Amino acid sequence: MALTGDLGSGKTVLVQGIAEGLEAGDVASPSFVIVNEYRGRIPIYHVDLYRIADTGALEDIGYRELFYGDGAALVEWADRAPEVLPADRVNVTLGFTFGKPSCRLIAVWATGPIHEAALRSASFWGPASGGG
């Protein structure tokens, strides 16, 4: 999952909610360590690209194994290294609303057939949403 949005828009809070749903325990922002791994019902790889200057650092941590392995890779600041992201993924962009600082706008979309099918079957799509 590729997460984008301004500083403080809720990327880490979203990851915390996903980790809670997957019974993975407490999640902290990995801003100073690029990746944290959590064990729940499936492995979660919480990646933070905020301080990445180039993708060489991602090669050093074995990003391919994280992104294409047996768990869920949740990548904050994904827009800093789009060339290393899987072609088929879920993108989530979070933004602030005007006049309501505690509310967020969230856009969710898939970039390939596997994740598009997964989003269409997700339980949060109600009848009025149109499923897309």
Per-residue model confidence (pLDDT) at position 62: 87
- CATH 3.40.50.300 for domain 2-129, yes or no, is yes
- 59-109: pLDDT as tens digits: 888 889 999 988 999 999 999 999 999 999 999 999 988 778 778 899 999
What are the sequence ranges of the domains in the chain? 2-129
Assessment of whether the complete model's pTM goes beyond 0.95? no
pLDDT of residue 102: 79
CA quadruple 27, 21, 76, 61: dihedral, nearest 10: 70
